Amino acid sequence: MNKLFSIGFWSWVARFILRNRTWILIVIAAITVLLALQWKNMRFTYTEANLLPDDHPINLEYDQFLSHFGEEGNLIVMGVKDSTIFTPEKFKAWNQLSKDIGKFNEVELTLSVGNLQKLEKKTDTTGFELVPFIKDSVFTQANLAEYKDELFNKLPFYDGLIYSPDKQSIRSAIYLKKDIVNTAARKDFVIDDLIPIIKKFEEDTGVTVYTSGMPYIRTLNSQSIIDEIGLFIGGALLVTSLIFFFFFRSWRATFISMCTVIIGVMWAFGFLGLMHYEITVLTALIPPLIIVIGIPNCIFLINKYQQEIKLHGNQAKSLQRVIAKVGNATLMTNLTTASGFATFILVKSELLSEFGIVASINIVAIFLLSLLIIPIIYSYMAVPKYKHLKHLNKTWINGFVNWIERMVKERRITIYISAVLLLCASIIGIYNIKISGSLIEDMPKNTGFFDDIRFFEKEYEGIMPLEIMVDTKKKKGVMSLSTLKRIDELQDHIKEIPEFAKPLSVVELVKYSKQAYYNGNPEYYQLPNSQEKNFILSYAKSSNTDTNLLNSYVDSTGQFARITTFMKDTEPDRFKRIEEDLHNEINKVFPPERYNVSVTGKALVFQKGTHYLVNNLILSLSLAIFLIAVFMAWMFRSFKMIIISLIPNLLPLIITAGVMGFVGVPIKPSTILVFSIAFGISVDDTIHFLAKYRQELIANNWKIKKSVFAALRETAVSMFYTSIVLFFGFSVFTISSFGGTVALGALVSITLLFAMLSNLLLLPTLLLSLERSIANKETMKKPAIEILTDDEDEIE
């Protein structure tokens, strides 16, 4: 019954496609145009990936912090380490650079040596006032030397903020308006305004400027993603078209296949726009993925068409068989591939869910496009000539198939020993895998902005913001001396951690107030004691020094205080120890019954996001294995066949994990994707082989050996072709400047290569070794999906 239904259904599909050729092409063209109109809705991401669910406690704490203090990542810094910067001409140019940047609408304020304010005690009344640090309008070497000495030795408030702890470099701070930080306006400002004006300064003065800060890093990182989309698509098209032509030696077949996958790419962009998803470092991979995954569909269809033409020369019959036989088989293989991507939808991460949704939809779409376009286009063309079919008789591919057959027939023990040795070695490697939570590890390392990050890590001890929010549980509780002392004690602890920069908080302003009260003597840069507290704080309250810095570190109610530090790129294990130590110190300094203290910030959110994804990796991969096992059960109705089919596909994943451990590739958001993607793709070969194997069992009256080798010879060529296309197709991602994308491309390529060998060697070997337990009609029940044989798919 199933067989009759399968024959009838695919017969109807073939008739429908070939009888409605023109209308189908019109519909495809119309859908393509409609999806192309959605391109205008594509948005490029303006923030780094948040890998945690919205309702995760870490995200909730971060959202609470933002509600009190607004966007944290609005600071861009420019640094110089040049002994000649304190010469009149260059110092004037440096000051002018900050003034010019401050004039842009996107900038809230700039803080530079030229516009620094000093806090001084008023002489005529009670209170403090801010006065310019630089009072001269004409610069000489003498007065610049005085300013330099005063800045480095008498203004500790600006230590780590304007000058480096070792006093060898200075920097300017650019505070963007918070409402534009996560919008396209930030990108326009950085790309079109900031970078050109800095380059002009460098050309005019010969002074190298190092620029960084989260808005700057995000912008250039996003621009790198945008630039690489075209590179990936072009690279994937070039590599796959060259391989395709090498296999088929036909410009016509190559052109038809490229047109099919290009339409698939257009649909991929259209779906991204239709769903209003951002183009992130992950979704940017989807268009080239569609090319790499779509070409094997084209190979199966065109290869079958040419085989049929060579067999009987009847074009109509050949096209009917192509649709019925290959469409039937590739439907299941594309569904298993799509299911590998679809497992990411169930991970509670918006970034991965969007990637899984768009990827799985487009994999099904490229299958439909291949099934419709290729037979229809060939139906309008002349029958292929002999020169187009010569590739079917390649002697080298026959040699490869003969070697596979010989290994399975004569070297079964060798295959098992090799598999066991690889498994043992891989398990050892798995124990060496590390987890990476670095925010900058996957950023392009051959770019100027990555070098600038390293400069600020060295000179200013970090660039990634880490925030601590102190809730005093009462209004104006921050300015009590006991709270200020507790904040100062915690800051002293933070200063002892080498991965952290000098922290900034309201405490620094209060210390500066005491210094100002004592006529600017730097020895008094400290918190006031209980006797000094009342009159120094009353001085501060009577002052009209409404500084942006004070507003940034105490909320409007005076209940919440903020401590900001910056951290270096830190190994996850080390960061975990630092975090535990920090929480222990917080619990010791701030009694929980009086204070609520939370540690947050982008650096922490990203670290936690990576660990969250690693914990969900097992769930994602388990779902992929379960879904594909369900497909196998539905197809073959045999539990033993499910086990046999999973072993050759799980082994390559274990080998890849072992390789990661040995070569030092850590688990991170990009490499987490490898396993589900590779498993979903590699199982396609298993489906093709087992489907053909069952055909041969029936045809050969359940003779295992004869059936295994017949299936091997039939499927080995197409498995080899598609695996080579996939290997080199995914290898295109290794040209990326993003470390994670490189690792993704290389690891998937390696996994698919191992999977091909595993399915060609280990799978038939298992079938031969277990022939007594599986070679009977009770074990191999009638499948739900019947792969049609040559004498079963005739269409009236």
pLDDT tens-digit map of 396-413: 677 777 888 888 888 888
Q: Answer with the residue of higher pLDDT: 382 or 358.
A: 358
Q: Ranked by mean pLDDT, which of 348-362, 394-408, 484-498, 620-634 comes out on top?
A: 484-498
Among residues 518, 516, 479, 511, the alpha carbon closest in space to that of 130 is found at 516
Q: Answer with the residue of higher pLDDT: 340 or 518.
A: 518
Residue type, 325: K
Percent of the chain with pLDDT over 70: 87
Check whether 256 has a pLDDT greater than 70: yes
The confidence score (pLDDT) of residue 636 equals 66
Q: How many residues does the chain have?
A: 796
Tens of pLDDT, residues 406-465: 888 888 889 889 999 999 999 998 888 877 756 666 676 777 778 888 888 888 877 778
Check whether 615 has a pLDDT greater than 80: no
The confidence score (pLDDT) of residue 4 equals 43
Mean pLDDT of 371-391: 75
Structural domain boundaries of the chain?
A: 2-49+219-431+606-774
2-49+219-431+606-774 belongs to which homologous superfamily?
A: Multidrug efflux transporter AcrB transmembrane domain (1.20.1640.10)
Q: What gap in Å lies between CA 543 and CA 537, rounded to an integer? A: 10
Tens of pLDDT, residues 139-190: 888 888 898 898 899 988 888 888 888 888 998 988 888 788 777 788 888 8
Strand-pair partners of 566:
465
Cβ neighbours of residue 195 closer than 8 Å, sequence gap 6 or more: 211
The confidence score (pLDDT) of residue 660 equals 87
- Say if residues 599 and 582 touch (Cβ distance below 8 Å): yes
Strand, helix or coil for residue 207: coil
- Say if residues 71 and 306 touch (Cβ distance below 8 Å): no
Strand, helix or coil for residue 520: coil
Among residues 185, 156, 169, the alpha carbon closest in space to that of 77 is found at 169
The confidence score (pLDDT) of residue 30 equals 94
Give residue for tokens 């498995």: 719
Residue type, 601: G
- The four Cα atoms 690, 693, 698, 703 give a dihedral, to 10 degrees, of -130
Check whether 84 has a pLDDT greater than 80: yes
Cβ neighbours of residue 565 closer than 8 Å, sequence gap 6 or more: 462, 465, 466, 468, 494, 500, 501, 502, 503, 504
The confidence score (pLDDT) of residue 385 equals 64
In 10 A of CB 33, how many CB atoms? 11
Tens of pLDDT, residues 491-533: 999 989 888 888 888 888 888 888 888 888 888 888 888 777 7
Residue type, 64: Q
Q: What gap in Å lies between CA 352 and CA 347, rounded to an integer? A: 7
Check whether 29 has a pLDDT greater than 90: yes
pLDDT bin (cut points 50, 70, 90) of residue 471 is very high
Q: What gap in Å lies between CA 712 and CA 714, rounded to an integer? A: 5
The confidence score (pLDDT) of residue 779 equals 47
Mean pLDDT of 332-349: 78
pLDDT bin (cut points 50, 70, 90) of residue 2 is very low
The confidence score (pLDDT) of residue 573 equals 74
Among residues 155, 367, 196, 356, the alpha carbon closest in space to that of 275 is found at 356
Among residues 750, 752, 751, 734, the alpha carbon closest in space to that of 742 is found at 734
pLDDT bin (cut points 50, 70, 90) of residue 389 is low
The confidence score (pLDDT) of residue 199 equals 93
Check whether 786 has a pLDDT greater than 60: no
Strand, helix or coil for residue 118: strand
Among residues 446, 453, 433, the alpha carbon closest in space to that of 668 is found at 433
Strand, helix or coil for residue 617: helix
The confidence score (pLDDT) of residue 590 equals 92
Q: What gap in Å lies between CA 690 and CA 704, rounded to an integer? A: 12
Q: What gap in Å lies between CA 18 and CA 691, rounded to an integer? A: 26
Cβ neighbours of residue 725 closer than 8 Å, sequence gap 6 or more: 240, 243, 244, 292, 295, 296, 299
The confidence score (pLDDT) of residue 549 equals 54
The confidence score (pLDDT) of residue 790 equals 43
Q: Answer with the residue of higher pLDDT: 358 or 711.
A: 358
Chain-centroid distance, C-alpha 437? 12
pLDDT bin (cut points 50, 70, 90) of residue 596 is very high
Q: Ranked by mean pLDDT, which of 44-53, 283-292, 394-403, 646-655 comes out on top?
A: 646-655
Q: Which two tokens stand for residue 328?
A: 């039937």
Q: How many CA atoms lie within 13 A of 139 on its CB side?
A: 20
Check whether 5 has a pLDDT greater than 50: no
Q: What gap in Å lies between CA 748 and CA 727, rounded to an integer? A: 8
The confidence score (pLDDT) of residue 463 equals 73
Check whether 95 has a pLDDT greater than 70: yes
Check whether 7 has a pLDDT greater than 60: no
Give residue for tokens 């688990």: 667
Residue type, 555: D
Q: What gap in Å lies between CA 116 and CA 110, rounded to an integer? A: 9
- SS3 of 698-750: the string is HHCCCCHHHHHHHHHHHHHHHHHHHHHHHHHHHHHHHHCCCHHHHHHHHHHHH
Question: Could you give the C-alpha distances from 52 to 209, 349, 358, in angstroms and in order?
Answer: 35, 5, 19
Give residue for tokens 């040995």: 662
pTM for the whole thing?
Answer: 0.75
- Terminal CA-to-CA distance of the chain, rounded, Å? 19
Tens of pLDDT, residues 478-490: 888 889 999 999 9
Among residues 263, 243, 237, 252, the alpha carbon closest in space to that of 373 is found at 263
% helix, strand, coil for the chain, step of 5: 70, 10, 25
Cβ neighbours of residue 216 closer than 8 Å, sequence gap 6 or more: 76, 190, 194, 449
Mean pLDDT, the chain, as a whole number?
81
The confidence score (pLDDT) of residue 31 equals 93
Q: Answer with the residue of higher pLDDT: 775 or 329.
A: 329
224-238, 386-400, 626-640, range with the lowest pLDDT: 386-400
The confidence score (pLDDT) of residue 543 equals 47
The confidence score (pLDDT) of residue 441 equals 67
Q: Where are the alpha helices (DSSP H) in 380-411?
A: 386-389, 395-410
Strand, helix or coil for residue 383: coil
Q: Which two tokens stand for residue 139?
A: 């610069």
DSSP H or E run through 109: strand 107-111
The confidence score (pLDDT) of residue 787 equals 47
Check whether 641 has a pLDDT greater than 50: yes
Tens of pLDDT, residues 282-338: 787 788 888 888 888 888 788 777 777 777 777 778 788 878 777 777 787 788 788
DSSP H or E run through 641: helix 639-663
- Say if residues 470 and 478 touch (Cβ distance below 8 Å): yes
Q: What gap in Å lies between CA 17 and CA 330, rounded to an integer? A: 16
Check whether 612 has a pLDDT greater than 90: no
Give residue for tokens 């046999």: 644
Q: What angle do CA 71, 76, 79 make, to 5 degrees?
A: 155
Mean pLDDT of 464-485: 88
Check whether 32 has a pLDDT greater than 70: yes
The confidence score (pLDDT) of residue 346 equals 75
DSSP H or E run through 567: strand 560-567
Q: What gap in Å lies between CA 281 and CA 50, rounded to an integer? A: 12
Q: What gap in Å lies between CA 126 and CA 128, rounded to an integer? A: 7
Q: What gap in Å lies between CA 610 and CA 744, rounded to an integer? A: 16
The confidence score (pLDDT) of residue 744 equals 81
Percent of the chain with pLDDT over 90: 13
The confidence score (pLDDT) of residue 791 equals 41
Q: What gap in Å lies between CA 450 and CA 211, rounded to an integer? A: 10
Give residue for tokens 């199933």: 2
Q: What gap in Å lies between CA 333 and CA 631, rounded to an integer? A: 10
Chain-centroid distance, C-alpha 431? 24
